[in-house]
Amino acid sequence: MKRLIAPFLFSLSALALAQPAAPVKVDQAWLRPSVQGQATTGAYMTLTAAEPLTLIGASSPAAGSVELHQMQMQGDVMRMRPVDTLALAPNRPVQLAPGGYHLMLMQPRTPFRTGTQVPLTLRFRDAKGAERTLDLSVPVAISAPGGAAVPEHKH
């Protein structure tokens, strides 16, 4: 019996230790393709949280780092700045889109080709201060799913 019980107990404790996935619905995710040597490219999506959450970061094995950015008009000029966090109120969709908030993949390890998928992990903090993550596979495309192509923004 011991041989059967031990693996069972192990799997139970592994389950108990596993982080619950962040309760966020992700719609219309896409990542702009990049060419060889391109330093950055943007990822866009709509996030709808089921409970109060704050997006605190992101990472991808396919990029050197991932930053949260915001594009804003300053006078006549569109400027981009890194932002540390993005608060998500329950059931209020927040759009990451060209011209607004976006995730910037820095130093792609290889060019992102249209039609492929890139793994992206989002990190959130919940109302209790606990960290929750969400693993995504984001399609590389020249436009939002079902949308028109959007001109690339320059940094």
Positions that interact with Cu ion (CB under 5 A): 69, 80, 104
Which residues in 18-28 are b (16+ Cβ under 10 Å) and which e? eeeebebebee
C-beta of 24 vs 43, nearer to Cu ion: 43
C-beta of 23 vs 153, nearer to Cu ion: 153
Closest by Cα among 155, 136, 145, 152 to 82 = 155
**Residue 41: CB minimum distance to Cu ion, A:** 9
The strand pairing partners of 50, in sequence order, are none
**Residue 137: CB minimum distance to Cu ion, A:** 21
Q: Which amino acid makes up residue 126?
A: D
Q: How far is 64 from 73, CA to CA, in rounded Å?
A: 28
C-beta of 32 vs 69, nearer to Cu ion: 69
**Residue 11: CB minimum distance to Cu ion, A:** 42
**Residue 131: CB minimum distance to Cu ion, A:** 24
Tell how strand 117-126 and strand 86-88 pair up: unpaired
C-beta of 24 vs 96, nearer to Cu ion: 96
